Structure 1
Amino acid sequence: MSNTAHSVNSGTGEQGHGDGRYSVLVVGGGQAGLSISYYLKQAGVDHLVLEKQTLTHTWRTQRWDAFCLVTPNWQCGLPGYPYAGDDPHGFMKKDEIVAYLDGFIAMVDAPVLEHTQVSRVKRRDDGIYAVTTSQGDFTADQVVVASGGYHTPIVPRMAERLPAQIVQMQSSEYRNPQALPEGAVLVVGSGQSGAQIAEDLHLAGRKVVLAVGEAPRCARFYRGRDVVDWLADMQYYDMPVEKHPLREGVRDNTNHYVTGRDGGRDIDLRRFAAEGMELYGRLEDLRDGVLHFAPNLAANLDDADDTYNRINASIDGFISKNAIDAPPGDVYAPVWQPAHERTTLALADSGIAAIVWCIGFTPDFSWIDAPVFNGRGYPAHTRGITPVEGLYFVGLPWLHTWGSGRFSGIARDADHVVQAILAKQRERAAACASMAA
């Protein structure tokens, strides 16, 4: 993408009312914001997308070189732009993902201002939203926040006490093993990013020390098919958040670790350990040059395997109930067990030259002046519709279903939010007509 801001197009549904006023302002130019624009253009609603950097920049700038999708390509179903390649059950690599998104950007042709940071959104007493940005002030009848939920990297304060010669980076900054100094690498966190980065380093022959967290895992393939295919048939991806056993608590869950690398496979941390990767429990502190870990490695590995086997057992039940002809199932048996819980590691003896922090992000919606946030800064909403009239969210994990923060479910969410926007427009138009009469 160009480093210059896109100009606002002049097609149907894109021109504002003048003086910086639009019917809808969309904050964020990732797949969520572009999906909202797609449906607004279809409905002929004037709007503008405001993007802090460049369209879909996260996919271009915050992914490592060997990154690939962990869900099969057929799940890429952005609105009006389903995957059309010749490998629906494969996993697009980084460059292929960017090419897919470039095609979506060209198809949507959204009215957008790039390099435009929004610093404040506030609903005035007259019901109009005032939006302050680095490129001036705008107003809108309604606002859609499509900036995602992963804003501020989590790095613990203990990082400040690490020796200056140890290179530190967050998962969004990691690119490849060659970019790190020679020596061992400590990867902190075993969610999707942590497990895959640890694998990337391990496959490159680097010495890896992995602080294992509570992330679950799942199989890549089971009983002759991708597990995602089975779960789709079981309608798991259509389950709304209110019907999930954890209800809204599922939004706090760490994603299951698995990979689409080399055609897709399990990530088995026990196998990595048998091959030389050093596993510890959760990293808790650094004191006097010694890293301290929780004595929970065995429990974390066991819990991840229990989830793995539980998902497979649910597939077994589905196959049996529907009399499906499929290869026989099995139960995962651990290929490695920790001899004991190691809770300390002296940095001076470890050979660690770099640390990659893979413990997630926190949301930052401090620029939104609206009474919709809970104590953790997460917005209250129902399918993206907040209690504050005219304010919406889209693109958040489990906004409605598992696919809400992914390519697979964003179209359904965006369409629902735009339908709510249109209903509010009709309501206001009717009110104005009644007053005029």
Structure 2
Amino acid sequence: MKDFIIIGAGQSGLSMAYNLAQTNSNYLVLDANEHIGAPWLKRWDSLTLFTPTEYNHLPGMKFPFPKGYYPNKYEVADYLKSYVEHFNIPIEFNQKVTSVTKVDGVFEVTTAKEQFKSKQVIIATGPFHTPYTPPCHTDIAEDVTQLHSENYKNPNQLQDGDCLVVGAGDSGVQILSEIADTGRKVHFSGTDNIKAIPQTFLGKTLWWWFTKIGFLSVNRYSKIGQWLSKGVQPVIGTDVKSLLAKDNVIHMGRTLSADETSITFQKGSVSSIKNIIWATGFKPNFFWIDGISFDEMNYPSNYRGVSNDIEGLYFIGLPWLYTRGSATLGGVWKDADYLMNYIAKNQQAA
């Protein structure tokens, strides 16, 4: 019997583990991956954060790079590994949790291998679970290479011929830019109205300005927070206007339909595409947790990470759990602190 089980060994799970360790709690972290940092290493090879070093610290240990430096995915994974080793965080890998059920006041956490019991459970699996690909992808000819951005590594995966990148978020735009730099003809499918902001402005980083104006501390329950959280997030650090103006980049608008011979967009049909990168995001999956309700985005109902349905169940690392920074490497510690204080007060009251 554990006092706490944390499900997920990413930055949010590690932040909670750090806090629990400070109180000498009997806890365990379960993670579905083979090693720490695996989700980062699965991303495309050229991935770098759009937050500089000074905004990437987890509690108790600074990110070990100079101020103003933008780390790549390998450096983030190494930092998380060092964090686990430094604080001796107990993690069991290859433990994909299939269900969480509360029975007679005790949580039963079941994996593909075994069952664990705990008094309280913290869900730290993040927001990115099931890759989403539009239904029309099944109508496309089998000789077309199709990759979700989750599985895209670099342009060497692509066969000869034209490419299509679908998705106007950070991932889609960064992958589009990388493939366009190879000189290959790339069709782009996404909105005509991409909002983009630079990483630096007037000699200061974007995140310096965000902190200065209080953007990162606006909470989701305020009027401004409700407006921001429901809006389209801007692309950060990519000159989208210049990218779409390249001779080998053809903006087709939204994808409408597909068949064995061509793909149809708002701006016409194309039959020459041999590769498609679907940077179309992910759907959350928390349906393996018994007895909880969901909000309109299929995230578990909660207030600042405290379950609205089950006592002793908590969530961390979700987008806009409380603020814009809730799901970021350097912002999750604030939510971890809040949850730890909430837990401590509840234990004292008991």
TM range (shorter): over 0.9
- Within 5 Å, which residues of 2 pair with 1:10-409? 21-53=1-33, 54-61=35-42, 63-86=43-66, 88-124=67-103, 126-213=104-191, 215-247=194-226, 250-259=228-237, 266-287=238-259, 289-294=261-266, 342=267, 344-347=268-271, 350=272, 352-387=273-308, 388-409=310-331
CA distance in 2, matches of 1:270, 1:287: 31
TM-score with structure 2 setting the length: 0.94
Measure the CA separation in 2 of the matches of 1:142 and 1:394: 14
- Which structure features the higher share of helix residues? 1
Q: Which amino acid aligns with 1:345?
A: S
- For 2:207 and 2:188, locate their aligned partners in 1 and report how far apart those are by CA, in whole Å: 27
Cα displacement (A) at 1:224: 2.7
Q: Is the 8 A contact 1:121 1:367 kept in 2?
A: yes
Structure 2: distance between partners of 1:272 and 1:346: 18
Residue-by-residue CA offset, 1:369-428 (whole Å, 9 max, x unaligned): 023313542111111111121111001111111111111211111121122222232233
For residues 271-327 of structure 1, what are the alpha-carbon distances to aligned partners after superposition, in whole Å with 9 as ceiling and x for unaligned? 432433101211121256332223xxxxxxxxxxxxxxxxxxxxxxxxxxxxxxxxx
Q: In the TM superposition, what is the alpha-carbon distance from 1:202 to its structure 2 partner?
A: 1.0
**How far apart, CA to CA, are the structure 2 residues paired with 1:284 and 1:293?**
5
- Give the letter for the 2:280 counterpart: I
Unpaired runs of at least 5, structure 2 = none
Mean CA deviation greater in 371-380 or 74-83: 371-380
Asked whether the equivalents of residues 37 and 78 of structure 2 are also in contact (C-alpha less than 8 Å), the reply is no
Amino acid at match of 1:174: Y
- Structure 1 gap ranges (5+): 1-20, 260-265, 295-341, 429-437
Q: Per the alignment, in what secondary structure is the counterpart of residue 83 of structure 2?
A: helix
Post-superposition offset of 1:218: 1.2
Question: Which digits, 9 at most, give the CA deviation of each residue in 1:126-180, with x for residues without a partner?
Answer: 3211111123111111110000111000011111110111000100111111221
CA contact (8 A) 1:31 1:56 kept: no
Residue 212 to residue 414, structure 1, CA distance change in 2 (3 Å) = same
Q: Choose between structure 1 and 2: higher strand proportion.
A: 2
Provide the secondary structure at the position in 1 that maps to 2:208. Answer: helix
Tell me the percent identity.
30
Distance 2:295 2:80 in 1: 33
More displaced 10-residue stretch of structure 1: 180-189 or 102-111: 102-111
Contact 2:40 2:74 in 1 (8 A): no
Q: CA RMSD in A?
A: 1.8
Structure 2 letter corresponding to 1:201: I
Partner deviation per Cα, 1:196-252 (whole Å, 9 max, x = no partner)? 0001111122211110236532122222322222221112111111125251x6445
Give the partner amino acid of 2:60.
G
Indicate the residue corresponding to 1:426 in structure 2.
348
AA of the residue aligned to 1:425: Q
Shift of the alpha carbon at 1:181? 0.8
**CA distance 1:71–1:289, change in 2 (3 Å):** same
